[in-house]
Amino acid sequence: MLLDIADLEPVATFAADLCVVGGGPAGLSIARELSSSRLRVVVLESGGLELDGETQHLYSGPCRGTLLAGLSGYLATSRLRYLGGASNHWQGWCRRHDALDYEVRDWVLESGWPLELERLGPYYHRASELCRVPDFDDHRDASTLRAALLGEDPDFETTFFHMSPPVRFGEAFGGELAGAPDVRVVLHANVLDLRTDRSRRRVTAVDAASLGGRRLTVRSRGVVLACGGIENARLLLAAGGDGLGLGNERDLVGRYFMDHPSVHLGQLVMPYWRHLMRPYGYLGAGGRRQTVRAALRTSEALQRRERLLNAVFVFDPIGAEEAPELAPEVMALATDVLQLAEEHPDPANGSNFVGALRAEIEQIPDPENRVTLTDERDALGMPRAALRWTIGEQDEASLQGSVRALVRSLGSRLRARVHLPEEIGAIWEASVPSNHHMGTTRMSTTPDRGVVDTDCRVHGIDNLWIAGSSVFPTSGCSNPTLTLIALALRLADHLKELLA
C-alpha cells in the first residue's frame, strides 16, 4: 500500500511489526523481502515520488575536508530524498568487496569485518538479481575473462564492474510494494525522534511529521534505520533530544565516516594496445552502453607487501584535444620502443589509445572523520548534520604507492606512459567524492569498537537495526550498493525469523 502522510488523519498512529525508516535501496529491499512474510511493515519515506527542493533541503548542513572545499552543498546533493533514495542518481556500478577487505590488516587502523565473505555469498547472489546484474564472483568467474592488459602481473589484477541498467528502486519496486497488503509505504513522513522505554534498551515508537504539519507515530516491535550514512547517524545522535542520542554510549555514532575519493589522476598513452582497452572503456561497439566494465585493481600481494589500501584504476578514452602537451611525442617514443622490442601485437590491427586515468581508493577508517549535529535546526526542528571528511597521510601515501606500482607495471610491460601532476595537491584539486557514505554506524563484535553487531542490531538496544553502508567497518574500493543490498537482505532474513 502506498500512502501519503497528507492523506492521513492530522495526528495518526500505526501499529506494525517492523518500521523501516528510509525508502532507498536498503529500506525497499528489506520491505520487499518481508512483503510475503505476513509481518506488518511500515516504510517511512521523507520524500514523495519525485525530487522536491524543500524536502531535499532537509539534508543541508556544513561540511569541510580535503575534497569538499568547493562543495558546500555536498550534504544537500550527495543523496536524493525521495522514494528510491540514492538509487535515483546511481550510475549502476556493481562489484563485490574483495576478500582482503574483510580481513584484519595490521597496517589499517580498525580494519576487519566481523563477517566472513563466504557468509555473504548467497546474499550477493540475491542482491545481483535485484540490481539486474549477473551473479558474478570476480575471484571465481573472472579467470576466463582476464583481459591481457597486464596479463598475470603480480601487482595488479583485471577486475570487473557489472553495470546495473541502473535499477531505480522506487520505480522498480514501488508498484510491487503498493500492491502488498501487509506493507504500508508512507510518503512525506520525516522521522523526528525514536522514543525508547526508560531503560533505553527498547525503541517504543517512531515519531514522524510532514513539512505540512501532519504527524504520524509508528509503534512497532522492531525498527530499521535505512536512510544513509549521514541520516542514520543524525537520527541516532538526535534521538531523545537530550544530547545523549541512541547507541552512542561510547561516542562512536557518526565517527569513521568514509567515502571513496574519485581521484582524477591524469592521462596515459598506449601505442597499439587500444584493442586491449576495449573492456576498460565505457562504451561498447557502436556507442552502446556496456554491461561489464574492466578495471585494474591492486593485488592482494601488492597491498600486503607495500602495506597499501585497496585501489582500483579505471580508464576513459579521451580525444586528442584533451590530451596533455607532448602526448604525440611520448606516444612516438613509446611506439618506437615497442617496435624495437618487437612487442607490438599486430601493427595492422593495433591502434593507439589515449585515455584519462582515474582511481577509486579505499581510505582508512579515521574516527576524526565524522558526522556531528549543529545548533542550527531544519524546517522540522531537527538539528542539522555537519560533516568533517579529510584525506589523511596514510590515504595519500597509499595512493602514491599504488600509482607508483601502476607506472611500474604498465611501463615495464611497455604498455603505457602516464602523465600525472607532480604535486599531490593538484591531484586532490581535480578529484571529487563518490557520494558513498560509509562507516558512521560501523559493525563490530563489541560495543567499544562499533555501533552495530554482526546482525546489524545497535549494541545495547534490543529492537533497533541499521541497514546501509553506514555499517561498513572499512570501505574497500568497490561501489557500496551491491554489498549494502546483500547486507540488507541478510538482515531481512534475520528479522523474518526473529519477528515471525
Stretch in the footprint of other proteins (CB under 8 A) among 99-107, 125-133, 340-348, 461-469: 340-348
In the complex with other proteins, the residue whose CB is nearer, 34 or 269, is: 269
Q: Does residue number 342 form part of the binding site for other proteins (CB under 8 A)? A: yes
Identify the H or E element spanning 355.
strand 353-361
In the complex with other proteins, the residue whose CB is nearer, 333 or 356, is: 333
Contacts of 475 (CB under 8 A, 6+ apart): 258, 259, 260, 362, 363, 365, 436, 438, 439
Q: Of 131, 183, 330, 391, which one interacts with other proteins (CB under 8 A)? A: 330
Q: Does residue number 340 form part of the binding site for other proteins (CB under 8 A)? A: yes
Stretch in the footprint of other proteins (CB under 8 A) among 57-65, 81-89, 330-338, 474-482: 330-338
Q: Does residue number 337 form part of the binding site for other proteins (CB under 8 A)? A: yes
Q: Does residue number 134 form part of the binding site for other proteins (CB under 8 A)? A: no
In the complex with other proteins, the residue whose CB is nearer, 201 or 408, is: 408
In the complex with other proteins, the residue whose CB is nearer, 103 or 343, is: 343
Count how many residues are written for the chain: 500
Q: Does residue number 393 form part of the binding site for other proteins (CB under 8 A)? A: no
- 255's grid cell: 565517527
In the complex with other proteins, the residue whose CB is nearer, 6 or 333, is: 333
Query: By the 8 A CB rule, do 95 and 482 touch?
Result: yes
Contacts of 339 (CB under 8 A, 6+ apart): 347
CB 314 → other proteins: shortest distance, Å?
19
C-alpha triplet 22, 27, 28: angle, nearest 5°: 115
Using CA atoms, how far apart are residues 213 and 217, in angstroms rounded to an integer? Answer: 13
289 DSSP assignment: B
Q: Does residue number 358 form part of the binding site for other proteins (CB under 8 A)? A: no
CB 69 → other proteins: shortest distance, Å?
23
Q: Does residue number 344 form part of the binding site for other proteins (CB under 8 A)? A: no
Stretch in the footprint of other proteins (CB under 8 A) among 36-44, 94-102, 183-191, 400-408: 400-408
Stretch in the footprint of other proteins (CB under 8 A) among 26-34, 334-342, 358-366, 475-483: 334-342
- Among residues 387, 160, 353, 356, which one has the least CA distance to residue 263? 356
Find the binding residues for other proteins in span 257-276 (CB under 8 A): 266
Segment 146-154 long-range contacts (CB within 8 Å, at least 24 positions apart)? 147/276, 147/279, 147/280, 147/294, 148/276, 149/273, 149/276, 149/277, 149/280, 149/294, 149/296, 149/415, 150/296, 150/409, 150/410, 150/413, 150/415, 151/413, 153/299, 153/409, 153/413, 154/299, 154/301, 154/302
- 453's grid cell: 553487531
In the complex with other proteins, the residue whose CB is nearer, 297 or 417, is: 417
In the complex with other proteins, the residue whose CB is nearer, 20 or 427, is: 427
Contacts of 63 (CB under 8 A, 6+ apart): 71, 72, 74, 75, 386, 387, 388, 389
CB 391 → other proteins: shortest distance, Å?
21
Q: Of 320, 341, 348, 500, which one interacts with other proteins (CB under 8 A)? A: 341
CB 95 → other proteins: shortest distance, Å?
28
In the complex with other proteins, the residue whose CB is nearer, 122 or 266, is: 266
Q: Does residue number 285 form part of the binding site for other proteins (CB under 8 A)? A: no
C-alpha triplet 446, 439, 472: angle, nearest 5°: 70
Query: By the 8 A CB rule, do 239 and 390 touch?
Result: no
Find the binding residues for other proteins in span 405-434 (CB under 8 A): 407-408, 410-414, 417-422
Q: Does residue number 329 form part of the binding site for other proteins (CB under 8 A)? A: yes
The CA–CA distances, whole Å, from 232 to 71, 246, 297, 414 equal 22, 11, 31, 48
Q: Does residue number 250 form part of the binding site for other proteins (CB under 8 A)? A: no
| φ, ψ dihedrals at 468, nearest 5° | 120, 175
In the complex with other proteins, the residue whose CB is nearer, 104 or 426, is: 426
- Among residues 253, 311, 262, which one has the least CA distance to residue 470? 253
The label of the residue with cell 527498547 reads: 202
Q: Of 6, 205, 333, 499, which one interacts with other proteins (CB under 8 A)? A: 333
Task: Write out the residues near other proteins by the rule CB under 8 A.
Answer: 266, 324-326, 328-330, 332-333, 335-337, 339-343, 404, 407-408, 410-414, 417-422
